[in-house]
Amino acid sequence: MNYNDFDELSNYEQSGERYLTYEDIEKIAASKVKGSILWMVFGLLISGITGYFTLMGFAKGIIPVIVIPVAVVLEFVAVIAFTALTYKVSASVLRMIFILYSVLTGITLSVIGVLYDPYVIISAFAGTVVLFTVLAIYGYVTKEDLSKYRSILIVGLISLLIMGVINIFLQSDGLMWITSMLGVVVFIVFTAYDVNRIKNNVIAYALEEDAGILDKIEIHGALSLYLDFVNLFIYILRILGRRK
């Protein structure tokens, strides 16, 4: 998942200077988008394995329940650190933070195994994979710049947050269902938006031939796609909603 793109790409000489062709840039973009998705999948595998063993630890009384709120707090810390250190550390350090975040998320999501029927979890996961794949492909192949939808997506996120807070007090099934439907819409659009953003960012920086920046774009994109997938999965799970 760490590519030495520029050594493998063909280049041509013009006026004594080295240029990347359009095909070269397309290859770099495809490579980095693929890298983001592979890192995302790797993070999901880590979360799944961590969640499974955490769930087994709960069942055997080896792991105390207090680890859940601790993991939630550390998740926020990890995301803040990832964002703050993006331009100050190497891509390797960002990858380590991403792996740590995946472990912490696996711990917090382990409660899903306690609350929901296994068939519903599998169905929600399968549905998430299908929706994510379709929208990711669209985000990559479309010629449209999806960044224009950023403000709408931000409004959607804020609306989800406000409705979620309100429903903590109301405990309304109807509001929960509306929030879940909106959440699915927001994060399937976010999936296309983030893939499109990763591709466009890579193209924008490819001409500088700075592999370090492109590696950071790759892992930053992986975290964005990971969050899109996890949130989409959770909202679909809420819609299916068959608890144990």
Residue 2 has pLDDT above 70, yes or no: no
The three-state DSSP-derived secondary structure of the chain is: CCCCHHHHCCEEEECCEEEECHHHHHHHHHHHHHHHHHHHHHHHHHHHHHHHHHHHHHHHCCCCCCHHHHHHHHHHHHHHHHHHCCCCCCHHHHHHHHHHHHHHHHHHHCCHHHHECHHHHHHHHHHHHHHHHHHHHHHHHCCCCHHHHHHHHHHHHHHHHHHHHHHHHHCCHHHHHHHHHHHHHHHHHHHHHHHHHHHHHHHHHHCCCCHHHHHHHHHHHHHHHHHHHHHHHHHHHHHHCCEC
pLDDT by residue (tens digit) across 178-223? 999 999 999 999 999 999 999 999 988 877 666 788 999 999 999 9
Residue 8 has pLDDT above 50, yes or no: no
- The pLDDT, as a whole number, for residue 212 is 80
Out of 7-11, 23-27, 136-140, 195-199, pick the least confident. Answer: 7-11
Cβ–Cβ < 8 Å for 68, 108: yes
Q: Give, in order, the Cα–Cα distances in Å from 68 to each of 61, 63, 71.
A: 14, 10, 5
pLDDT by residue (tens digit) across 59-82? 888 888 899 999 999 999 999 999
Cβ–Cβ < 8 Å for 216, 91: yes
Q: Give, in order, the Cα–Cα distances in Å from 137 to each of 39, 71, 204.
A: 17, 33, 20
- The pLDDT, as a whole number, for residue 205 is 86
Question: Taking the complete model, does pTM exceed 0.95, yes or no?
Answer: no
**Six-digit token string for 161:** 């947050």
Mean pLDDT of the chain: 89
Q: Give, in order, the Cα–Cα distances in Å from 172 to each of 165, 185, 232, 237.
A: 12, 20, 21, 17
Which one-letter amino acid corresponds to residue 11?
A: N
Q: Which comes out higher in pLDDT, residue 17 or 91?
A: 91
